Structure 1
Amino acid sequence: MGGGQQYPTTCFNTVIKTVVLAGLLAQKPFKHIAGFTNSLLKCYAPDLHTFYSETMDHIHRWNPNLRCNFSATVSVFAAATFNFRPQTITFPHLDFANLAWGWCAITALGDFDPNKGGHLILWDLKLIICFPPGSMILIPSALICHSNTSIGSHEKRFSFTQYTPAGIFQFVDNRFKSEKEVNSTEMSAEERAARVEARKIRWAEGLKMYRKCPSALP
């Protein structure tokens, strides 16, 4: 959802890519990574985790045929991306399609010297983080500009990311209608005003989900 679709759908891939992705998602290492990420989100932002979980429950009740990358007990994220270039390096960017206050899980994989390259840069926070293979971080990728540094010419770096497009949350909030469909619906001036006001406070309501679980406090 978010790439022009009017409704949430399973991502389209070629037959070969579908077979390859199905094989990757069935592998225990990726199930373990997804499960670990899910546990961290639940521990450090329980309200946000609940919001993601309830949204996915609504989506699958709306369309039980939508295929999940992992079971609901493993991960609450709707989507995942594998970056298997020999050297996965990104320029500074924001993931605009993601939920503004939502978190994106980034996991580094490969074989490289983390002291010499592959560092994660969070530009807005002025942080350069040593990010060895196997490292994972949760960030609001739609808000914090991020990238990673290059590695040696003989080294390899891959990445595995998990996220949920903002369009899915919007679709559920619109009572299973696209934004275009809602805007074309006849509404009174009061209803439209209420819709505008609700959007104004949505950001503040989202930030409240950053409450920490007491057990996660240092």
Structure 2
Amino acid sequence: MVWNAAVTVFAACTFNFGPHALTVPHLNFGNLAWGWCVITALGRFNPNRGGHLILWDLKLVIRFPPGSTILIPSAIIRHSNVPIDANEFRCSFVQYTAGGLFRFIRNRFKTDHAFELTATKQEKWERAQESKTRWQEGVAMYSTIDSLRS
């Protein structure tokens, strides 16, 4: 096995080498819905003129200079970035974990298809019951302001 980095909790990473790394508004559907995605801006560009991060669903435009890092749930918050000038350079480094890895573990190290082929009726019923609350359990893992105050 080859690790992405010596110390990371994320299973995957992407380098967007530029020279004008730009994204259109999108969601990363493959990522764990309530999981974090770490976005780091790199390069040489004027952050007052471009490179801003846009979080569409939150109606936020964030000044995002080179070296900035943000964590967002990229599967559920539409995001993109603002273009930079033609003579500037922008790239990015993104870390994330695919939701399929969590499903694989949840399926006792089987694909969804293999699980469905081998699961008993009881296991399928338990899976259906678990699925009713899985989203709420995932969202409950987020910190709240009150939990950070204690």
Please report the TM-score for the alignment, with normalisation by the length of structure 2: 0.94
Superposition deviation, residue 212 in structure 1: 4.9
Return 5+ residue gaps in structure 1 as ranges.
1-65
C-alpha separation in 1, matches of 2:23 and 2:5: 26
2:128 corresponds to which of 196, 201, 208: 196
Kindly provide the amino acid, as one letter, of the partner of residue 63 in structure 2. C
Please, which of 15, 31, 34 is the counterpart of residue 98 of structure 1? 31
Which segment drifts farther, 179-188 or 79-88? 179-188
Q: Which amino acid aligns with 2:43?
A: G
| Counterpart for residue 130 of structure 1 | 63
Query: Does structure 1 retain, via aligned residues, the 8 Å contact 2:116–2:124?
Result: no
The reply on whether 1:207 has 2:139 as its aligned counterpart is yes
TM-score by length of 1: 0.65
- Cα deviation 1:58-109 (Å, max 9, x = unaligned): xxxxxxxx221123xx211010100002000100000000000001000000
Bigger share in strand: 2
Deviation at 1:211, TM superposition (A): 2.4
- Equivalenced residue count is 150
Letter in 1 for 2:130: A
| 5+ long unaligned stretches in structure 2 | none
Identity %: 56
Q: Which amino acid aligns with 1:171?
A: F
How far apart, CA to CA, are the structure 2 residues paired with 1:135 and 1:193? 45
Inter-CA distance 186–134: structure 2 relative to 1 (3 Å threshold): closer
Give the 4+ runs in structure 1 shifted more than 2 A: 211-218
What does residue 108 of structure 2 align with? 175
For each residue in 1:97-142, what CA deviation from the matched residue of structure 2 results, as whole angstroms up to 9, or x when unmatched? 0000001000000000000000000000000000000000000000
**Residues 173 and 213 of structure 1: is their aligned pair in 2 closer, same or farther, counting only changes over 3 Å?**
farther
- SS at 1:80 equivalent: strand
Alpha-carbon distance in 2 for matches of 1:124, 1:211: 20
Alpha-carbon RMSD across the aligned residues, in angstroms, is 1.8
Helix, strand or coil for the counterpart of 2:80? strand
1:170 and 1:191 map into 2 onto residues whose CA distance is 15
Q: Is 1:67 the counterpart of 2:2 in the alignment?
A: yes
The 3-state SS of whatever aligns with 2:65 is: coil
SS in structure 2 opposite 1:180? helix
Structure 1 or 2: larger helix share?
A: 1
